[in-house]
Amino acid sequence: AQSVAQPEDQVNVAEGNPLTVKCTYSVSGNPYLFWYVQYPNRGLQFLLKYITGDNLVKGSYGFEAEFNKSQTSFHLKKPSALVSDSALYFCAVTTNSGYSTLTFGKGTMLLVSP
């Protein structure tokens, strides 16, 4: 079985400050990890993914995430937050062994204040 934990329901940060949205995962086998963002009444938009290779992954809109195998984490980061980054963020995991769907975390609301 695979699972994802996003321990924070909400993250508040001031514009211009760095932001981190946390994600930890559990899978059997090698993890494939994803971050998605959702704006109100819209579908989820892909931000970035880790499949293999460099542990630091860069994605859309200046976001990046670091794969940490020993801590089973894949935290989303951005050096300088924008008000327009305010949205709901989902972490997801799957594995390369056998047929699999993505398992999503419950989501973290990011609020960036001006």
Partner 1 sequence: ETGVTQTPRHLVMGMTNKKSLKCEQHLGHNAMYWYKQSAKKPLELMFVYSLEERVENNSVPSRFSPECPNSSHLFLHLHTLQPEDSALYLCASSRQDRGANYGYTFGSGTRLTVV
The residue among 20 and 100 lying less far from partner 1, judged by its C-beta, is 100
Task: Assess 97 for contact with partner 1 (CB under 8 A).
Answer: yes
Which CA distances in Å does 109 have to 45, 54, 101, 114?
15, 27, 24, 16
Q: Look-up: residue for tokens 């630091």?
A: 56
- Rounded to an integer, what distance in angstroms lies between the CA atom of residue 97 and that of residue 13? 38
- Looking from the CA of 26 toward its CB, the CA atoms found within 13 Å total 5
The residue among 25 and 90 lying less far from partner 1, judged by its C-beta, is 90
Task: Assess 109 for contact with partner 1 (CB under 8 A).
Answer: no
- Rounded to an integer, what distance in angstroms lies between the CA atom of residue 88 and that of residue 81? 14
- How near is the Cβ of 12 to partner 1 at its closest, in Å? 18
Under a CB-based contact definition with an 8 Å cutoff, are residues 20 and 110 in contact?
A: no
The residue among 42 and 69 lying less far from partner 1, judged by its C-beta, is 42
Q: Which of residues 56-95 bind partner 1 (CB under 8 A)?
A: 90, 92, 94
The residue among 40 and 114 lying less far from partner 1, judged by its C-beta, is 40
Residues that bind partner 1 (CB under 8 A): 32, 34, 36, 41-46, 49, 51, 90, 92, 94, 96-102, 104-107
